[in-house]
Amino acid sequence: MIEPDQLIERIESECDLPDGWSAFKTTPIGAIEVSGFDGEEQQQAILEVIAGDQITEIVINHSRMPGRLSANNYEERDEPASDIPDQAGVLQFDTRDKALAALDKLADPDIIEEIARMRSFVENDDPLDVTEAVREASNVDVSTIKDTSSGI
């Protein structure tokens, strides 16, 4: 299993992060936030990477993103175990390489905001699920997504 410091190093070397963005450890233990957090101001757009033994998740979090419900019974999932905020879209990948390739394309506050806009039931009569919003807003190869946990 890769240590968080090694994963942070991979994220920062393999992903083209926006100016001012970085990766750092956060809670729950093992989770890594990728954002422009400067130690003071709360960020509107945040990506979080949660790496387990079998899957790696990218949590797309935006202050305007609708809440998520698990497609599976979230309480029964083996890993990764994490408290996910209400405003999130979760993408699961079966390899870290696939997750980092997606992270590289998602690490843009404008893309995250566009995903949130497409998923908003306030702004759309027929909001998109997280996979469709990612497909429309980014260049992520959605065929690499193993599963999602999202819903309104």
Q: What is the tens place of the pLDDT at every residue in 49-78? A: 998 888 899 999 887 776 544 333 344 444
Q: Kindly state the DSSP code that residue 131 receives in the 8-state scheme.
A: H
Tokens standing for 73?
């019974």
Instruction: Please give the pLDDT value at position 49.
Output: 93
Maximum separation of any 2 CA atoms in the chain, in Å: 43
Q: What is the pTM of this model?
A: 0.81
Distance CA 53, CA 39 (A): 30
Tokens standing for 26?
């956060």
Instruction: Please give the pLDDT value at position 35.
Output: 93
Residues 6 or more apart in contact with residue 23 via CB below 8 angstroms: 7, 8, 11, 12, 17, 32, 33, 34, 49
Which neighbouring-strand residues pair with 32?
25, 49
Share of the chain above pLDDT 70, in %: 79
Share of the chain above pLDDT 90, in %: 47
Contact 107, 47 (CB under 8 A): yes
Instruction: Please give the pLDDT value at position 97.
Output: 95
